[in-house]
Amino acid sequence: MFAIMASLMNLALSASQLFTRHLNDLFAVTQQDYSNLGRLMIVVGLVNLLPLLALPLLWKTEHSAPAEPQRDVPSEPLHAP
């Protein structure tokens, strides 16, 4: 479960880095005009939270998995030669 959540977080971080330039162009944040910087930071923060939406799905799949079958335990102890 931890590995899945870590990989989803890495995916979200990669996506936010890839789309930062495009969001920068969309919100028109430049060195002279920072008026849309707050909106840009909110959108990037929300993109980082997207993996949390997968938690209910992961919980459902983890709890619907069939239980492992129990191994047969020999009734008599094994004798060493």
Write the pLDDT tens digit of every residue in 18-47: 877 788 789 888 889 899 989 988 987 887
Q: Which two tokens stand for residue 72?
A: 């047969």
Total number of domains in the chain? 1
Range name among 5-14, 49-58, 66-75 with the lowest pLDDT average:
66-75
Q: Is position 71 within any domain?
A: no
Nearby residues of 37 by Cβ (< 8 Å), 6 or more positions away? 27, 29
Whether residue 24 is contained in a domain is answered as yes
Residue 33 domain flag: yes
pLDDT value for 30: 85
- State residue 71 phi and psi, 5-degree precision: -80, 150
- Per-residue pLDDT reduced to its tens digit, 65-77: 566 666 665 566 6
Q: Tell me the whole-structure pTM to 2 decimals.
A: 0.48
